[in-house]
Chains A and B, each alone.
Chain A
């Protein structure tokens, strides 16, 4: 299940890149999930837990991964924490939905992310500001729009 809180959220970890640099574990980088995400987002190959082959930057350490990649790995490996998912571009949206299919995760969004319009989300998505479940972007959009503007919370928190 994916829970989304729109707007400023005190308990969310805002600077996910800095946080990742401190807390990531070697085993995260060599996991099947991380390899797939790094291949997709960074267009890079994991060589070892300390080394990733980037077609642009050469061999880089995990701290040089894209901000969106770092946030996805944090969501996957620390689902008990809430992360600022506005560090993720739209190309991360499918991965967020995929994580939510196997883990309960809560994310904080400070912009409107496009989760895709071709089909329903395929996973239960709840807007925490209203405590309402949404099935697709057409249902998510008015809520995102409203709560980002008002920064209101009338729901589950």
Chain B
């Protein structure tokens, strides 16, 4: 399945209106905000349609999923937006991750647990906010808001230390940027280890760079650490490959359109995460080029991307990070 889907669910008393943008969406936040009520309405409409009294508008079928036989219920379900309420332990299992990966459905999961087996984007973790009752006899309107919206785009920083999730090309790139300026750039060797590097570093301004498209499962933990240490800033582009593609270094027809609305182009059954799509796209775009330009996720950063002009173009995408000021 590809695309973004607006979902409007309402009764006489309550209304939810939100848009699902990719294959995995997480709903969490405070208790009492209406998460279970939402899944309950989806369930009522799925079972009885408009005769349930629930009004649901969406271009795809919205289906609730739960219980110990979840895998049987999921069998044969396609192009569907599947809602899973809190209390379903299977969402953390590798079996569920495999089933989700093999399917062409979108999943909306209510949970506070870190689901490390799923590629959760930091941009697709939502809370529910009530906008109140606009008038008598009008339902209370609930909308979703991005819980980590403020972290997805970095705040201003002149880093004295850079920590990258990546240990290959992404780390190569930022090492290339940092080395001449005397800024240390270290790799955490994967998202699971990033918080190991967050501890008291008085006098340092630390920039953490990770792939936002799959960092969602670590976001809660990371943000709790960042509450302890205010001299850390997160920068979470979709992925390093997205950053290279968005920089304009590669002139390819249609690329701008893809980057503007990735959900229109990314088939979830083919690419479990957007990170994988952008890697595939970059590798595809450079596969017929000389070896000095050819990109390989697992390899070192090709010399083409290390050229000063190209580095500047990439850094132009992240104006809030001031590397140059450090050279003064």
For A18, give its contact among B13, B29, B87, B224 (CB under 8 Å): B87
Contacts of B227 in A (CB 8 A): 114, 117, 137
Q: Interface 1/0s, chain A 10-26, versus B by CB < 8 A?
A: 00001111100000000
Residue A112 at the chain B interface, CB threshold 8 Å: yes
Known contacts A17-B36, A117-B227; 11 further A-B pairs (Cβ under 8 A):
A58-B13, A67-B31, A68-B31, A89-B29, A110-B92, A111-B113, A111-B114, A112-B220, A114-B224, A114-B227, A145-B195
Q: Is B37 an interface residue when CB atoms closer than 8 A count as contact?
A: yes
Could you jot down 30 A-B contacts, CB within 8 Å? A14-B89, A15-B88, A15-B89, A16-B87, A17-B36, A17-B87, A41-B31, A41-B32, A42-B32, A43-B32, A56-B13, A56-B14, A57-B13, A66-B32, A66-B33, A67-B31, A67-B87, A69-B31, A69-B32, A88-B31, A89-B32, A92-B31, A110-B92, A111-B112, A112-B224, A114-B224, A117-B227, A141-B228, A144-B221, A148-B114
State A17–B85 Cα separation when bound (angstroms). Answer: 11
Chain B residue numbers with a CB within 8 Å of A112 are: 220-221, 224
Residues A56 and B224 in contact, CB atoms below 8 Å apart: no
Assembled-state Cα–Cα distance A89/B147 (Å): 13
Q: Which A residues form the contact surface with B (CB < 8 A)? A: 14-18, 41-43, 55-58, 66-69, 86-92, 110-112, 114, 117, 137-138, 141, 144-145, 148-149
Q: Chain A interface mostly helix, strand, loop or mixed?
A: helix
The reply on B302 being an interface residue by CB < 8 A is: no
Question: What is B's interface to A at a CB cutoff of 8 Å?
Answer: 13-14, 28-37, 86-89, 92, 111-114, 130, 140, 192, 195, 220-221, 224-225, 227-228
**Interchain CB contact (< 8 A) of A149 among B14, B88, B192:** B192
The number of inter-chain residue pairs (CB within 8 angstroms) is 86
**CB-CB nearest in chain A for B14:** A56
Smallest Cβ-Cβ distance to A58: which chain B residue:
B13
